[in-house]
Structure 1
């Protein structure tokens, strides 16, 4: 098994966020601000080797550690799920780049590599699409409301 079917196994998302990179970076790295758009609890240490731990749905923890932290422009952290044999903690890599967009917006590019199969790529693609749209709402100063994925284990 592997990548022989010609499809590269990764997730890539791009989004235009109506806030400057510094605001978006804070929403990605400040544990209290993360909870505005994703998760029920978060422990984030945004420095190389620091912990990334977010209870995404209230039923499932994503866990990894930061590899790169370039304030307001880039984050990279290992990623996986507590208790998962398919995508164990730290087994994949999430990279987020934030680029200035005039007048005061941000282009967010997310790449998630190291996922084991197409099914996991599809699932994580759906998850990131959902949470990045909530991030955009929070960045605009609005409340994205209760997370419809709350309680989901899958």
Structure 2
């Protein structure tokens, strides 16, 4: 059975694998491109926590790492605290880092989303944040994180 509600994105980043991996796993580096506060426990079953910006208020996401292969792959469950449609641990984010063209190809898949609206919202969020990750990992300042722009 093919899962209908999946976000897939790729981006080439002008930085080595180890640098990009650090920006995905080190809480101090994570908050340089996404969110206000982060916590990671880099082992299977370890915590993934991110407090970010959603409109005019902060929103927290939580999950657990399923795979941690240094500089090559991350997989972790994901969901929003207090979220009814995507609660903590209800979806899966998989990120593969591939050495390519003197940089890193980031291949991200976010599966387990419940419907088309959540898929579209998360797709928009990933587009925003992967661009910010590319800037930060390449040594550019992505500026303050105001979250993806949402239309009312």
With the length of structure 2 as denominator, give the TM-score of the two structures.
0.92
Structure 2 gap ranges (5+):
none
* Residue 78 of structure 2 is aligned to residue 79 of structure 1: yes
Query: How many pairs are equivalent?
Result: 148
Stretches of 4+ aligned residues off by more than 3 angstroms: none
Deviations 1:38-90 (A, max 9, x none): 01001111111000000021610010000000000000000000001110000
93, 118, 121: which is aligned to 2:119?
121
* Residue pairs, 1:1-154, within 5 angstroms: 8-57=4-53, 59-103=58-102, 105-149=103-147
Q: 2:87 and 2:117 mapped to 1: Cα distance? A: 15
Deviations 1:7-34 (A, max 9, x none): 7210000000110111000000000000
Deviations 1:73-127 (A, max 9, x none): 0000000000011100000000000000132x00000000000001100000000
Across the aligned residues of Structure 1 and Structure 2, the Cα RMSD in angstroms comes to: 2.0
Structure 1 gap ranges (5+):
none
With the length of structure 1 as denominator, give the TM-score of the two structures.
0.91
Q: 1:89 and 1:132 mapped to 2: Cα distance? A: 21
